[in-house]
Amino acid sequence: MQEYVENVLAPRLRGDGGWVEFVDCKDGVMTLVFRGECSKCHILDRCTRWMEEKIEQQFGEKVKIQAVRRKPYFWDVK
């Protein structure tokens, strides 16, 4: 699952200036950290639903994505 997120889904987000990091997948809940443009996106919930659909199509498993937003550290530097 981690390879699929990093090698298939993540590159599609990078095209829009965001990136995603796989953290964990337990009991049907996948935790992903969203950074860059994804960390401030107003439609992140649509993106996570899309990712859930792609994972179900590819693996036949239903997962719920828990999105954690993190700004890059340099956005806080003044």
Q: Is the pLDDT of residue 78 over 60?
A: no
Nearest to 20 by CA among 11, 49, 58: 11
Domain assignment of residue 77, yes or no: no
Q: What is the CATH number of the domain that holds 11?
A: 3.30.300.130
Domain assignment of residue 30, yes or no: yes
Domain count, the chain: 1
pLDDT (tens digit per residue) in 51-65:
999 999 999 999 999
Q: What is the domain extent for residue 7?
A: 2-72
Domain assignment of residue 78, yes or no: no
Nearest to 51 by CA among 77, 37, 26, 38: 38
pLDDT (tens digit per residue) in 11-54:
988 888 888 999 999 999 999 999 988 888 889 999 999 999 99
Domain assignment of residue 55, yes or no: yes
Q: Which residue has the higher pLDDT, 72 or 18?
A: 18
